[in-house]
Amino acid sequence: MDLAASGMFLPPQTVGTILCCICGVTMSPNSANMCVTCLRSRVDITEGLPRHAALFYCPECQCYLQPPRTWIRADLESKELLTFCLRRLKPLTRNVRIINAEFVWTEPHSKRIKLRLRIQKEVLNGAILEQSHIVEFTQHDNLCESCTRYQANPDQWVAAVQLRQHVSHRRTFFFLEQLILRHGAASRAINIKEADRGVDFFFGNRSHAIKFVDFISNSIPAQSRSDKQLVSHDPKSSTYNYKYTFSVEICPICREDLICLPPKVAKSFGNLGPLVLCMKVSNSIALLDPLTLRIAYLDANKYWASPFKAFLSSRQLVEFIVLDVDLESSEIAVGGLKYALAYVQVARLSDFGKNDNIFSVRTHLGHLLCPGDYALGYDLYGANINDIEMDKYKGLDIPHVILLKKSYEQMRKKKRGKARSWKLKSLNMEVDGTIKARPDEEKRAAEYEEFLWDLEENPEMRFNISLYRDKDYQPSEMASTVDGDDLPSVPLDELIAELDISDDENDNTNSME
């Protein structure tokens, strides 16, 4: 008090007792001058408060309805349910203050939710009464709209995205699958189906599909078209239900393809040698001229303005053995990767030892190759070229062999059956079992194995992919390499330990490394 602070002497004040005006019991004075029992018996602050309320609950997705249309997911006796129930009671409890709210346990099958509230309200001349009040919510089962639609027809989709790439392999889709898993882009997909030259994704909402298409367009050069089809039409409220389809065409140029650029495109890049290798496909295509070490980048719009196809792809790679390397320039970094121009003498592995066919070629792999190495490349000497673009060039000097990459095939043959220390997750795709099933399985498995090798060899490809540590992997004792190079493999610090949320005693949550 100010008086006390100013130094004035205040005699001590003890409050006396009075008799309650109703029942005569001794009490200390309060603003109503009635004892608490009398006050409580005379005044009930909970009158007018609701004692029962109704909730609508969807048993399929365990959501509660917040009128008019929102469904909120909540577990029994959870914080979300508590806030939801209080929000339902809010307009009716405007005059009182809620101090505390908690759940009273009810049998889960009873379809009753009981809430105990502590209410405070001012009565008479400023006395504040606190009372406990129980509200019972009756839970009525009612399927929410999306569950009803799903029940009626489980395959019902509203938007579909069809990814297609018109090449004869599925490497792009393996890579895309890992990318999608890493970013969770297909988390809202109702259904994923494999088709002949691509994958179909089905969504329940047009905006989810658009988000997915945007994600794909940002990761890969692709062209998309959209269309819609009228499903139903309500003339009274003038609402229309459509099915939307998005057709996404991925550009057919893949990594390690040999391309002959059309004259216009070559000119626009400053006469980039018409034969180029595709080194990297992300949201733009990186084309490397192996003879001059020039890189050009082609983004999606530019590509689709004048599209072209590869004329040799990695299926047609032939293995060569390197006989001699003559470095022409030092190692330079082009587009983030190191290359060195060199003259090498190579012979086809199939020719080696049988005849003397030796090719002297210029290559960009000078920094990697040593005599005795194996390399993969395109055999243009023996190839039958019938590319349209190639014909447009007059007097083109085509090299005999274009080497692409170093080959680890021989080493792999030695260490066949060596387990990998890492593994990949996969999307659960529905395979279209009707068209061309059996013979493709082997091809698919071989392609997948090649994709995994690719991942091992190229660190920059692993950049956007999550590799998980394989728990069942035991490094064998014979792993110590006595013989020369080690196979390229994924270093341990790039692997993510899988998050295991099960109730194992020995397994707690692992952290990302």
Contacts of 269 (CB under 8 A, 6+ apart): 261, 287, 296
**Residues 223-246, buried b or exposed e (16+ Cβ, 10 A)?**
ebeeeeeeeeeeeeeeeeeeebbb
- Nearest distance in Å: CB 42, another protein: 10
Q: Which of 3, 4, 12, 506 binds another protein (CB under 8 A)?
A: 12
29 or 459: CB nearest another protein: 29
- Nearest distance in Å: CB 17, another protein: 8
23 or 445: CB nearest another protein: 23
Give 460's Cβ-side CA count (13 Å radius). Answer: 9
12 or 433: CB nearest another protein: 12
Which of the ranges 17-25, 188-196, 281-289, 341-349 carries the binding residues for another protein, by CB under 8 A? 17-25
Residue 386 to residues 252, 264, 280, 312, 482, Cα–Cα distance (Å): 18, 19, 25, 11, 47
Confirm or reject binding of residue 370 to another protein (CB under 8 A). Answer: no
Q: Which of 29, 372, 382, 459 binds another protein (CB under 8 A)?
A: 29
Confirm or reject binding of residue 229 to another protein (CB under 8 A). Answer: no
Of the candidates 347, 261, 275, 364, the residue with the CA atom closest to the CA atom of residue 303 = 261
Which of the ranges 27-35, 182-190, 266-274, 460-468 carries the binding residues for another protein, by CB under 8 A? 27-35
Which of the ranges 20-28, 80-88, 164-172, 292-300 carries the binding residues for another protein, by CB under 8 A? 20-28
17 or 187: CB nearest another protein: 17
- Nearest distance in Å: CB 76, another protein: 46
* Cβ contact 107:133 at 8 Å: no
* Angle at which helices 171-183 and 206-219 cross, to 10°: 120
Q: How far apart, in Å, do the first and last CA atoms of the chain sit?
A: 61
CA angle 366, 317, 354 (to 5 degrees): 85
43 or 461: CB nearest another protein: 43
Residue 312 to residues 57, 351, 360, 424, Cα–Cα distance (Å): 59, 21, 20, 29
Which of the ranges 6-14, 71-79, 393-401, 495-503 carries the binding residues for another protein, by CB under 8 A? 6-14
Confirm or reject binding of residue 1 to another protein (CB under 8 A). Answer: no
Q: Binding to another protein (CB under 8 A): which residues in 101-130? A: 124-125
- Nearest distance in Å: CB 107, another protein: 46
Q: Which of 1, 8, 9, 16 binds another protein (CB under 8 A)?
A: 16
Give the three-state DSSP class for 234.
strand
Confirm or reject binding of residue 85 to another protein (CB under 8 A). Answer: no
* Cβ contact 86:113 at 8 Å: no
Q: Which residues pair with 177 in a beta bridge?
A: none
CA angle 40, 45, 46 (to 5 degrees): 115
- Nearest distance in Å: CB 128, another protein: 15
Length of the chain: 513
Q: Which of 6, 13, 384, 509 binds another protein (CB under 8 A)?
A: 13
Which of the ranges 21-29, 255-263, 291-299, 302-310 carries the binding residues for another protein, by CB under 8 A? 21-29
- Nearest distance in Å: CB 11, another protein: 6
- Nearest distance in Å: CB 35, another protein: 10
Structure-token pair, residue 496: 């993510």
Residue 4 to residues 12, 84, 154, Cα–Cα distance (Å): 11, 49, 78
Confirm or reject binding of residue 146 to another protein (CB under 8 A). Answer: no
Q: In whole angstroms, give the CA distance from residue 377 to residue 50.
A: 81
Q: Which of 33, 282, 360, 458 binds another protein (CB under 8 A)?
A: 33
Q: In whole angstroms, give the CA distance from residue 59 to residue 147.
A: 9
- Nearest distance in Å: CB 6, another protein: 17
Confirm or reject binding of residue 491 to another protein (CB under 8 A). Answer: no
Q: In whole angstroms, give the CA distance from residue 186 to residue 204.
A: 12
Amino acid identity of residue 186, one-letter, is A
Q: Binding to another protein (CB under 8 A): which residues in 163-182? A: none
Confirm or reject binding of residue 11 to another protein (CB under 8 A). Answer: yes
- Nearest distance in Å: CB 36, another protein: 13
Element (H, E) at 89: helix 79-89
Confirm or reject binding of residue 388 to another protein (CB under 8 A). Answer: no
- Interface residues with another protein (CB under 8 A)? 11-16, 18-24, 29, 32-34, 124-125
